[in-house]
Structure 1
Amino acid sequence: MAAGGRADAQYVNAKTSVWWDIENCSEPTGCDPHAIAQNISSALARMNYCGPVSISAYGDTHGINSAAQQALSSTGVSLNHVPAGVKDASDKKILVDMLFWAVDNPAPANYLLISGDRDFSNALHQLRMRRYNILLAQPKTASAPLVAAAKSVWFWTSLLAGGRPLVEGELQQPGSKMKEPVDSCSEKPHVANQNSPSTARGNRRGEMAGGGGADAQYVNAKTSVWWDIENCAVPKGCDPHAIAQNISSALAAMKYCGPVSISAYGDTQGINSAAQQALSSTGVSLNHVPAGSFSKMAGGGGADTQYVNAKTSVWWDIENCAVPSDCDPHAIAQNISSALARMNYCGPVSISAYGDTNGINSAAQQALSSTGVTLNHVPPGIKDASDKKILVDMLFWAVDNPALPQITC
């Protein structure tokens, strides 16, 4: 990581926001809390990240003694107390604040996450595809998709000491306990910051600067990827963890360097649960579509003038608000749009439903999909996975659709 780990030119003077999950990466015994902020800043500066740094810590601060709290607070660390007792409360709070930071701080900018929790992997991959530079400090173990999103990776203890990030070989050491994702449909190991010209995030933007590939007007434009998984399925032997990264790398190799979003469409029941989780955790939006098309709605009556023609995004948690047994699923989208129109919300409407679509019978799925409802299949088995997916997608929608649109839950 010696060369590839240093900041690319566009990120050298950019802001760096540090997000510290103190439940997964606590302050080690014997560590001087007065030195933590300075050492993190020093570690970043050694890798040529020279812009302003902000550090926010999240968790139950009652577990930190008062002297340490005062030391952290007095050296610029923002302590965000998240009461104990609510499952994944810290993760959700970090996700919300991270993504609102993106709303207020357009790319290029740097994120340094201090955690090993896979719950953050989807958000980090989507941020990376939107041209944010991702850095990671991990405990002894970390989720492979989380590591794959990062340009540079530190061990938490090394970052605390102001040290350098891991080099490629160290990421493969048994002590890191990380299984590497695969860089392509071959069995070649992928490390997010390796020096391969076609895959290294650290090199690709510099290599793109000279010319070739995209016309100048499209170099930094958004790229939306629309994947028909029924016609182009995941090949056997292909590591689904690597698909999003490889698509982004292929685009970057042709000088398409702007934000990337990837949406996959088809019958997700034909994809095994492990592959679904791998795709979802690396930023691919899985849209379960048994059949159908999309529609946009409009109407009239009630909203404030500034919101009358603004977009409305509808976010439907089907695990908490299921389709009632006596409800005609063909009428749901129309009725939602009609209710909005009666209040004079006349702009374009999009409706996205989230949850385990295997729990909806095929006739209802077809009815919803054919009337414009996007079915986002969230594989079962991970606690609060739907909530976190909705949260991330809602906030990225806010990034891509500046106010004054309205969000309906």
Structure 2
Amino acid sequence: MMNATQEQAVVETSVFWDIKTCPVPPECDAGVVGRCINRYLKKLGYYGPLTSIAVGLLTDVPDDVLRRISSTGIVLNHVPLGSIGILRSMNAWKQTYPPPTNMMLISSDESILPRIRHSCGYNIFRLFPYDSTNAWKRFLLQDSGEDKCSVTPESAYWLCSACPDHLVSQGYEKFTTHLSSLEHQIKANRVELEAVAETWVVWDIKGCPVPPGCDVRRVRPCIEQYLKDFGYSGALTITAVGLLTDVDEDILRAVSSTGIILRHMEFYSGDISSVLYLRPRPSTYYHGPIRNSWPRLLAIY
């Protein structure tokens, strides 16, 4: 791991700790995790604001471990769907924190980091190599007990990414109460169903044209990878809509060759609404966030 550059040293750093693949060893105090991370980053020259987040299916983690972690200021993020859920959380975080900024991943799952490393302007790194099976335990056992993290009655804030509205609150008791509530169970089940349901993407080909110099045939794989990174693994249908007589024939031919449906229509919001609700449920209709960063999406994936 290289030391921080002058720019990296002072910007925000967020640490994503995959608590399932890197659990707290039985012989370690869960309260040392935060200060071990803090000391490690300072040793490498990272002195900017730091947020450490324990991510995973937290209902599978012992209550005493979670309570101790939360009391030291580490954020708890209840995330379903395993590595896909963690990847979704990291991608959502990127939308909140524009570059330059730092992201550190603590995980033994080698599938996560390569799928997020393509992001430009972010310093993304992992704590230890995936093949170092004992590295996490050694990292925690090196704790000297100095610079102890303070314990506060309210604890750190927490998030529930299993709920569609990504509930955010503070206080460990509120966290456990939420996870055991019927409302949470209903919302969490819905999220899991949506992840595997059919996704239908409506592409306004006039409002979001293929940028000059970009291969039209890359549109579909770019959208597919974007959705996979946010946890959508079900069947995918992409429809290019608009006044297609105004679109170059070669572009339409290339678009169609990748399996994207072409729908010629007078383009206005009323027409889009009629398209969205022609599909039978359950389906996930995806047509919003991509529009705001269309050229960037095609450049990244």
TM-score of the aligned structures, taking structure 1 as reference length: 0.39
The correspondence for 1:122, drawn from 85, 93, 114, is 114
Alignment CA distance shift 1:11-1:322 (3 Å): closer
Deviation at 1:26, TM superposition (A): 0.9
- Gaps of at least 5 residues in structure 1 are 84-88, 144-153, 164-295, 299-308, 347-390
Alignment CA distance shift 1:340-1:69 (3 Å): farther
Alignment CA distance shift 1:399-1:102 (3 Å): farther
Counterpart in 2 of 1:50? Answer: 47
Deviation at 1:137, TM superposition (A): 2.1
Counterpart in 1 of 2:85? Answer: 93
| Secondary structure in structure 1 of the residue aligned to 2:98 | coil
Counterpart in 2 of 1:67? Answer: 64
TM-score of the aligned structures, taking structure 2 as reference length: 0.51
Alignment CA distance shift 1:155-1:401 (3 Å): farther
Mapped partners of 1:23, 1:116: distance in 2: 9
Mapped partners of 1:398, 1:48: distance in 2: 38
Contact 2:91/2:116 (CA < 8 Å) preserved in 1? no
Amino acid at match of 2:110: R
Counterpart in 1 of 2:124? Answer: 134
Contact 2:87/2:116 (CA < 8 Å) preserved in 1? no
Cα RMSD between the aligned structures? Answer: 4.3
Alignment CA distance shift 1:95-1:62 (3 Å): same
Query: Would you say 1:297 and 2:205 are equivalent positions?
Result: yes
Render the CA deviation track for 1:310-364: whole Å, top value 9, x for unaligned. Answer: 67987468972479xxxx956965634x358354689xxxxxxxxxxxxxxxxxx
Counterpart in 1 of 2:34? Answer: 37
- Gaps of at least 5 residues in structure 2 are 144-203, 211-218, 228-232, 239-252, 273-285
Alignment CA distance shift 1:162-1:109 (3 Å): farther
Query: Would you say 1:160 and 2:114 are equivalent positions?
Result: no
Alignment CA distance shift 1:331-1:21 (3 Å): closer
Counterpart in 2 of 1:320? Answer: 235
Render the CA deviation track for 1:97-141: whole Å, top value 9, x for unaligned. Answer: 2112112212111111011222213333213xx121122124762
Task: Report percent identity of matched pairs.
Answer: 24
Contact 1:7/1:48 (CA < 8 Å) preserved in 2? yes
Alignment CA distance shift 1:136-1:331 (3 Å): closer
| Secondary structure in structure 2 of the residue aligned to 1:95 | helix
The correspondence for 1:335, drawn from 242, 245, 262, is 262
Mapped partners of 1:52, 1:158: distance in 2: 25
Render the CA deviation track for 1:67-119: whole Å, top value 9, x for unaligned. Answer: 22111111111222245xxxxx1212211121121122121111110112222
Render the CA deviation track for 1:341-388: whole Å, top value 9, x for unaligned. Answer: 354689xxxxxxxxxxxxxxxxxxxxxxxxxxxxxxxxxxxxxxxxxx
Amino acid at match of 1:120: I
Counterpart in 1 of 2:193? Answer: none
Contact 1:57/1:77 (CA < 8 Å) preserved in 2? yes
Mapped partners of 1:34, 1:399: distance in 2: 41
Contact 1:16/1:111 (CA < 8 Å) preserved in 2? yes
Alignment CA distance shift 1:73-1:132 (3 Å): same
> Which structure would you say has the larger RCO, counting Cα contacts within 8 Å and 6 or more residues apart?
2
Mapped partners of 1:32, 1:11: distance in 2: 30
Mapped partners of 1:104, 1:155: distance in 2: 31
Q: How many residues align?
A: 190
Counterpart in 1 of 2:5? Answer: 8
Contact 1:24/1:115 (CA < 8 Å) preserved in 2? yes
Query: Would you say 1:113 and 2:105 are equivalent positions?
Result: yes
